[in-house]
Chain A
Amino acid sequence: MHIPFCYINPYTIKSSSGYTFQLQEEESDFKTHYKALEIEYPKFYKMDRLSKMAFIALNHLTQEIEFDQFEDDEIHMIFGNTSASTFVDQLFSESYSLQKSPSPSLFVYTLPNILTGELAIFKKWYGENCFYVCESFDPILFADQIAFAFQKGAKGVLCGWVESIGNKHEALMFFVKNPVSELEIIELYNNLEK
């Protein structure tokens, strides 16, 4: 089965529609990736890295998927990673321990599920969503949750594995309109040629 996806790391964007974008030097704020989208969404600049990657990946998926065909609550979101919001947690912690001024704008991003909130705001999606913290990429969890979502009336499920640890940032986003097996998810993940 063809699963539309988008993969992002600090050098590369790659999507199942054939789009590829390469940078010579690592870019940790994803600004060049964002500019390549040619979309006006100033909120992007305030986002943390997890949300930025998810935002960019979603916009690339729109090349392949007409999200507008769905009602505003028919798309469920299932996201996960291993590090939750550790990267921003550390920045917020430094804002009070080193800079002596706790930063409210960092604090609001010290929750990993903020990224699903950002996508919901951008697309005006009112559907169900959940963020899981896992020991490692968990294809069984995704396959199970996708199956549950369809049982409960979802028409499409947007899935994401979005990680930001130290200098390692990467995101895999994929969209399914039917249940998929754990093996299909493993195959997708293993064939990314990161």
Chain B
Amino acid sequence: MAIIPIYIAPIALISPLGNDLEDHKIALAKNLSGIATQPKVGFGDENWPQAKINTLPEKNRFDHLLNIGLDKIAEKFESSLLEHESTLVIISSTKGNLDLLPLNPFDGIFEMVKTKWNLKHQPILISNACISGVVAIQKAADYLRFQKFHQVIVLGIDVLSDFVTYGFQSLFALSDEPCKPYDHNRKGINLGEAFGAVLLTKDANQSNIVFHQAITSNDANHISGPSRTGEGLYRSIRKLFEVTGVKASDIAFISAHGTATLYNDDMESQAFHRSELTNTPTFSLKGYFGHTLGAAGVIETIASLFCLQDGIAYKSLGFEEEGTTCAMHICRENTKTTSKFALKTASGFGGGNAALLMEIKS
């Protein structure tokens, strides 16, 4: 079976680092962080560093951010394209609008999207913990390859909330300092909020970056702890290389998950070691955006697209001293890359792991 080429392009990105793609490209290249100490946001009024979008109101942040994000998408596309028979919308969110509790936090999302646009197809909503964004991109490609769609818009969104902050605090997973992925002294995560959108299309005029494939694999190990051996992530990468024919030595960089928890980062180091990616330049974007849950896979894929365009791998913010189970090549500075393939990975609660491969065409 001939594989139809699928192209991927960034559409929109909203985070503490800016409101559009260009803002982010500049901020990321300058290694600016969106993380700042937020006073008294903890359950016991602790100050936690978070990547907070200060322009959002305190109530219904989710709806506000989604609204602004949908308008950004509308700036890029005619409504005739968005509302076309050949267009599908896939949404990635782990928690939706928690201000709606005790009502369903996902209740308003379909309504909001369908109020903006008269879509021909029901939007699809994926809630698969921290790998949601990468899975949403994978599903978008499936719809293009196996069905009659011509373009799929994937959007990822999650916002800060007491609910999620208290939850990670109760798991002792938060860091009281800006997070330090893969560092010897890493203490845990910083939460963040963001909206990101990408286009997957069969139209080669839309982008010079090809989406090859994404593979997911479960750890089959623990619902909230990563595998000790990196099994699921390793299997995702191995299968990704198998089906695409790409080798570890072809990879320019890994935009990894890197939450800066002790166990996650160790797990990734093992999976990359087993995949012969020990010497591949690797970075986490959590030091820039914090952990944005359902948005993470989408916004980190956008940042990886910037890297491919600029021929660099970003500095992994927060990293100083090696401290993972297996050795890794963590980028201490923005690093020039020599090949055209980008590997994006994600791992999350529920044992999910995902690996995604993209290539820039010259």
Seen from chain A, the residues whose Cβ lies within 8 Å of a Cβ on chain B are: 72-73, 82-84, 86, 89-90, 92-93, 96, 102-104, 107-108, 110-114, 116-118, 120-121, 123-135, 138, 140-141, 144-145, 147-148, 151-152, 165
B349 touches A108 (CB 8 A): yes
A116 touches B218 (CB 8 A): yes
Task: Give CA–CA (A130, B352) in the complex, Å.
Answer: 9
A127 touches B218 (CB 8 A): yes
A92 touches B104 (CB 8 A): no
Contact with A93, one of B163, B169, B222 (Cβ below 8 angstroms): B163
With contacts A121-B222, A121-B223, A148-B142 taken as known, whether A111 is within 8 angstroms of B127 at the C-beta atoms is yes
- 10 new A-B pairs (CB below 8 Å) besides A121-B221, A121-B351? A84-B127, A89-B101, A96-B43, A103-B170, A112-B127, A114-B350, A117-B349, A128-B215, A130-B135, A133-B127
A126 touches B101 (CB 8 A): no
Q: Distance in Å from the Cβ of B93 to the closest Cβ of chain A?
A: 8
Task: Give CA–CA (A131, B224) in the complex, Å.
Answer: 16
Within 8 Å of chain A (Cβ to Cβ): is B125? yes
Q: Distance in Å from the Cβ of B104 to the closest Cβ of chain A?
A: 5
Tell me which residues across on chain B come within 8 A of A152, comparing CB atoms.
142
Contact with B127, one of A73, A132, A138, A144 (Cβ below 8 angstroms): A132
Contact with A126, one of B126, B142, B235 (Cβ below 8 angstroms): B235
Q: Can you sample 20 A-B contacts with CB below 8 Å? A: A86-B101, A86-B102, A86-B105, A96-B166, A102-B166, A102-B169, A108-B223, A108-B349, A111-B350, A113-B129, A114-B129, A117-B218, A121-B221, A128-B216, A129-B352, A130-B128, A130-B139, A130-B216, A131-B128, A151-B145
A133 touches B125 (CB 8 A): yes
B contact residues, range:
35 or more
Q: Distance in Å from the Cβ of A55 to the closest Cβ of chain B?
A: 12
A132 touches B224 (CB 8 A): no
Q: Distance in Å from the Cβ of B212 to the closest Cβ of chain A?
A: 14
Tell me which residues across on chain B come within 8 A of A125, comparing CB atoms.
218, 220
Contact with B102, one of A90, A112, A129 (Cβ below 8 angstroms): A90
Q: Distance in Å from the Cβ of B347 to the closest Cβ of chain A?
A: 12
Binary CB contact string for chain B from 129 to 165 against chain A (1 if under 8 A, 0 otherwise): 1000001000100110111000000000000001100
Most buried by A among B162, B171, B224, B231: B224
Contact with B232, one of A90, A104, A126 (Cβ below 8 angstroms): A126
Task: Give CA–CA (A117, B142) in the complex, Å.
Answer: 23
A105 — nearest CB in chain B belongs to which residue?
B170
Within 8 Å of chain A (Cβ to Cβ): is B219? yes
Q: Distance in Å from the Cβ of A165 to the closest Cβ of chain B?
A: 8
Contact with A111, one of B104, B220, B349 (Cβ below 8 angstroms): B349
Task: Give CA–CA (A148, B350) in the complex, Å.
Answer: 22
Within 8 Å of chain A (Cβ to Cβ): is B77? no
Tell me which residues across on chain B come within 8 A of A120, comparing CB atoms.
218-220, 351
Within 8 Å of chain A (Cβ to Cβ): is B96? yes
Tell me which residues across on chain B come within 8 A of A96, comparing CB atoms.
43, 162, 166
Interface residues of B in 278-317 (CB under 8 A from A): none
Task: Give CA–CA (A105, B121) in the complex, Å.
Answer: 38
A73 touches B167 (CB 8 A): no
Q: Distance in Å from the Cβ of A135 to the closest Cβ of chain B?
A: 5
A129 touches B218 (CB 8 A): yes
A124 — nearest CB in chain B belongs to which residue?
B220
Within 8 Å of chain A (Cβ to Cβ): is B70? no
B128 touches A107 (CB 8 A): no
Within 8 Å of chain A (Cβ to Cβ): is B98? yes
Tell me which residues across on chain B come within 8 A of A89, comparing CB atoms.
98, 101, 105, 163
Task: Give CA–CA (A89, B220) in the complex, Å.
Answer: 24
Tell me which residues across on chain B come within 8 A of A132, comparing CB atoms.
124-127
B217 touches A128 (CB 8 A): yes
Tell me which residues across on chain A come within 8 A of B222, comparing CB atoms.
121
A102 touches B351 (CB 8 A): no
